[in-house]
């Protein structure tokens, strides 16, 4: 017979009190496994995201480098075309000077021939020759040198420093050879004989220590 005075609360038990210990352990393990799984899943997601980001970064860097290379190639191409244009202008100018000086030489020769027939004084002939060699050549060379230095920056200065034995005239001939002018064209431009040009070329080869197999013009063009 039940005691009516017994406390009813003692008869009430929580649901967990009726769960076996084995089931409690199993649930706990499942929760722990789920946490581990979530952590792994999170780690994999982060690693995958990092890989994608790294791949995107590398792709972006490659594209940037390709763009930079293209820009450099375009700039080099433009610079090369500009240099080629300036070189052509320089050669054209040198040829114009050469032709002009050749014509001046012919004119002066005719004047001298006419005056000789009239028995002119020797001073007049000397004056005409000096006018031909000094006035025109100095002015023309000054203009040529300005244009030459714009195309071949510091060439004459470097050549003079590396080969200090070269004379001023020989440096002039080196500059003209670098523009691929012939000995005849050089002689006309500088108002000197063709033989003088050939002699200077021989001396230049010696001072540059060139062998018989080395071409003077090719050597000058390469530096």
Model confidence over 137-191: pLDDT tens digits? 567 777 788 888 878 878 888 898 999 899 989 998 999 899 888 898 888 778 7
Dist CA 200 CA 173 (whole Å): 8
152, two tokens = 């071949």
pTM as predicted: 0.50
pLDDT, position 66: 85
Is a pLDDT exceeding 50 seen at residue 206?
A: yes
- pLDDT band with cut points at 50, 70 and 90 for residue 13: very low
* Residue 173 contacts residue 201 (beta carbons within 8 Å): yes
> How far are the Cα atoms of 6, 9, 23, 25, 203 from residue 14, in angstroms, in the given order?
19, 11, 16, 18, 118
- pLDDT band with cut points at 50, 70 and 90 for residue 111: low
All residues at 6 or more sequence positions from 221 whose CB lies less than 8 Å from its CB, including other chains: 178, 180
- pLDDT band with cut points at 50, 70 and 90 for residue 12: very low
Angle formed at CA 187 by CA 129 and CA 209, multiple of 5 degrees? 130
Model confidence over 77-107: pLDDT tens digits? 777 777 766 777 777 777 777 676 676 677 6
Dist CA 185 CA 10 (whole Å): 128
Residue 192 region by backbone torsions, left for phi larger than 0, else alpha for psi between -120 and 50, else beta: beta
Nearest to 90 by CA among 135, 146, 136, 142: 146
Dist CA 142 CA 146 (whole Å): 6
Is a pLDDT exceeding 60 seen at residue 124?
A: no
Model confidence over 27-85: pLDDT tens digits? 777 777 778 777 877 888 888 888 888 888 888 888 888 888 888 887 787 777 777 66
pLDDT, position 123: 53
Of 20-24, 71-75, 183-187, 195-199, give the range with the top mean pLDDT.
195-199
For residue 203, give the 3-state DSSP assignment. helix
pLDDT, position 173: 92
> How far are the Cα atoms of 38, 50, 53, 55 from residue 42, in angstroms, in the given order?
6, 12, 16, 20
- pLDDT band with cut points at 50, 70 and 90 for residue 132: low
DSSP state of 12: -
The packing angle between helices 168-178 and 155-162, to 10°, is: 130
pLDDT, position 47: 82
- pLDDT band with cut points at 50, 70 and 90 for residue 22: low
The packing angle between helices 137-151 and 21-117, to 10°, is: 170
């Amino acid at each position: 017979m039940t005691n009516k005075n017994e406390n009813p609360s003692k008869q009430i038990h929580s649901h967990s009190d009726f769960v076996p210990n084995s089931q409690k352990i199993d649930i706990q393990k499942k929760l722990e496994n789920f946490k581990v799984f979530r952590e792994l899943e999170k780690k994999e997601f982060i690693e995958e995201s990092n890989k994608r980001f790294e791949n995107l970064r590398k792709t972006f860097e490659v594209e940037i480098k390709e763009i930079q290379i293209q820009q450099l190639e375009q700039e080099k191409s433009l610079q090369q075309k500009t240099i080629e244009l300036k070189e052509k202008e320089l050669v054209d100018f040198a040829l114009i000077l050469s032709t002009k000086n050749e014509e001046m030489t012919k004119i002066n020769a005719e004047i001298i021939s006419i005056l000789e027939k009239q028995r002119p004084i020797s001073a007049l002939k000397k004056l005409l020759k000096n006018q031909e060699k000094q006035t025109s050549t100095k002015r023309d060379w000054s203009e040529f040198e300005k244009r030459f230095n714009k195309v071949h920056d510091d060439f004459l200065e470097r050549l003079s420093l590396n080969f200090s034995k070269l004379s001023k005239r020989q440096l002039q001939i080196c500059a003209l050879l670098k523009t691929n002018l012939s000995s005849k064209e050089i002689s006309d431009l500088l108002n000197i004989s063709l033989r003088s040009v050939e002699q200077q070329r021989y001396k230049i080869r010696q001072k540059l220590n060139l062998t018989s197999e080395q071409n003077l013009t090719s050597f000058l063009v390469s530096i």
